[in-house]
Amino acid sequence: MAELKKLKLDKIIPYENNPRDNEIAIEAVATSIERYGYNQPIVVDENYMIIVGHTRHLALKRLVAQGNKKYRDIPVLISEMPESLAREHRIADNKTGELSTWYTPYLRAELRDVSDEEAREMFTEGELNALREVTMNPEWQVTEEEIAAQRQRMEDRAAQTRAKQDSNLVEVTCEHCSEKFFVSRQNAVASADMDENKIINDEAKAATSGVGEET
């Protein structure tokens, strides 16, 4: 369980044995928060010691020191996990981020809509040059047609999902107010079965109501 709560930034305690060196990432994270907002809360334990989010904490402190006072109070997630699990989580959170890689053709396609200035804040010049080199290879290039085809496949899947949902709906009319609305076919059948059973039961009661009353 975790509770979202607003805390003063100076009440949050860094974990003294944090095994990750965050210094090189502080400026980039501070820039990201300033541009896109603080969208991923820091996770702390019940003593307000950081479990996940050391770099964000340092970046926020830098922003406040630079005069951005809106980050002096921030929402955090207060976790109830035991200390042994918190230790594991600190390592796993950092390690799992290293497992994913870039799919270069789609990254190159996405970067086309990003300004050079913004791209240089996310990647080094060497990384951008390497990316340009790799994508010069025709085998790694993504054409406009391929991007359009991928978008069309996503739209088709969404349409199929909507159609499947729509095919499972039936229109019914309320016998009391005559209003029409849609319900799932399963609910409609179940309701019809219940109504049919009710009619049968009512008829059975009516047929036997007079039995044993005559003397």
Long-range CB contacts for residues 171-178, cutoff 8 Å, separation at least 24 = none
Residues 190 and 115 in one domain: no
CA-CA distance, 4 to 28, in Å (whole number)? Answer: 25
CATH number at residue 34: 3.90.1530.10
CA-CA distance, 78 to 139, in Å (whole number)? Answer: 48
- Number of structural domains the chain divides into: 3
Residues 92 and 105 in one domain: no
Residues 15 and 85 in one domain: yes
User: Cβ(137)–Cβ(104) under 8 Å?
Assistant: no
Residues 40 and 83 in one domain: yes
Domain around 57: 2-100
Backbone angles phi, psi at 16, to 5 degrees: -65, -25
Beta strands of 58-175 (E only): which ranges?
73-79, 169-173
* Domain membership flag for residue 105: yes
Backbone angles phi, psi at 2, to 5 degrees: -145, 140
Which tokens is 182 given? 């849609």
- The enclosing H or E element of 88 equals helix 83-96
Q: pLDDT digit string (tens) for 73-126?
A: 999 999 989 999 999 989 888 888 777 777 777 787 777 778 888 888 788 888
* Domain membership flag for residue 36: yes
Residues 125 and 192 in one domain: no
Residues 137 and 186 in one domain: no
- The enclosing H or E element of 3 equals strand 2-8
Q: pLDDT digit string (tens) for 13-65?
A: 999 988 888 888 999 899 999 999 999 899 999 999 999 999 999 999 999 99
Residues 19 and 83 in one domain: yes
Residues 46 and 86 in one domain: yes
